[in-house]
Structure 1
Amino acid sequence: MLEYITTGNWDALVSDCIVRIMIILLSWACAVASSFIDLWSGVDTAKALGESIQSDGLRRTVVKIGDYMRVMLFLLMFDLLGAFLSFYVMPFATMLGALSIILIEGKSVIENSRRKKSNSANIPDVMRQIVNAKNIRESKEVYEAILKELNNTKANENN
């Protein structure tokens, strides 16, 4: 960018700035979107597990986005200074920061998905069966079903 300033190539300077700004805005938008996707995944998992959904999740998401944006501001400052170096052709720090946030949130979405698919989703049904057992025989059937499910889970984890 400095070479555009020294040579007076203002059209190239403006074009370069626009490209960098677009990349930065896209990076920031992807970082924020990944946080909201994680919120959506968490709410969906809580619903599937029969857990109550409270405003704490939304509050944590807003705080988390604020924390991410503070880090992204520091990375933006690095990119602004780097723009004057001839080899620093893109806002690499911002892109790396956004990629890191996306990976962190993606890991959280995967964890929510695993939690949703785990046997903890079956707990309310098991509890209902235990409470509704009318005699020893039905209680024994529920107990055997629980043992069978636990053995299946262990077998799946070993594979």
Structure 2
Amino acid sequence: MGKYVEFITQDIRSGVMIIFICLVLICSVCLLDLWTGIDAARANKEKICSRPLRKTGAKIVDYFRLLLFFIMIDILGLCFPWYNLPYGAIIGTLGVMIVEGLSIIENLRKKKSHAAEVADMAVRIMECATPDEAQKIIKTIKEGVKR
């Protein structure tokens, strides 16, 4: 009887450890997304406020709820002898990491694309033959910023 109890507790311990690692990974990728978003905003000289932090906190809670749903699927899977790992939690965490990874890539593109546009505009201003042409381009830029 002692062997069976030890086997079951070892199985539960490993499952709980995997679920804990999934929770830590979800927090990590959300904070990484926040970091890249703030970095992109700084690069584009946008105003940074506390809203992204609140949004990230809400996003982490929502992802934890989603992971709880997958953990319930894992609990149901314990009825099958071949279901020995929390596969649902692993798959759910992988999905969250993919979504947040795409968001991180989007933030990095946003950071680079605007920098490229600024450099492009500076080159266009410098290539102007007369000061009037440069003033027209600067006026166009200002109008675009006001929108």
Normalised-by-shorter TM-score class: 0.7 to 0.9
Query: Runs in 1 of length 4+ with deviation above 4 angstroms?
Result: 124-127, 141-144
Superposed displacement of residue 143, structure 1: 7.1
Partners of 1:12 and 1:142 lie apart in 2 by: 77
- Per the TM alignment, residue 31 of structure 1 is displaced from its structure 2 partner at its CA by 1.1
Q: Are 1:56 and 2:37 matched, yes or no?
A: no
CA distance 1:25–1:136, change in 2 (3 Å):
same
Instruction: Work out the CA distance in 1 between the residues paired with 2:136 and 2:105.
Output: 31
Q: Find the counterpart in structure 2 of residue 154 from structure 1.
A: none
How far residue 28 of structure 1 moved from its aligned partner, in angstroms, is: 1.2
Amino acid at match of 1:117: K
TM-score, L = length of structure 2: 0.79
Q: In the alignment, which of 130, 134, 142 is matched to residue 137 of structure 1?
A: 130
CA distance 1:17–1:139, shift in 2 (3 Å) = farther
Q: Which runs of 5+ in 1 are unaligned?
A: 145-159
Q: What displacement does 1:80 show?
A: 1.5
The whole-number CA distance in structure 1 between the counterparts of 2:93 and 2:63 is: 9
Q: How far did residue 32 of structure 1 move? A: 1.4
- Provide the residue aligned with 2:84 in structure 1: 89
92, 96, 103: which one aligns with 1:108 = 103
Distance 1:15 1:63 in 2: 34
Query: What is the alpha-carbon distance in structure 2 between the residues aligned to residue 98 and residue 123 of structure 1?
Result: 38
Q: Give unpaired runs (5+ residues) of structure 2.
A: 138-147
Q: Partner letter of residue 53 of structure 2? A: L
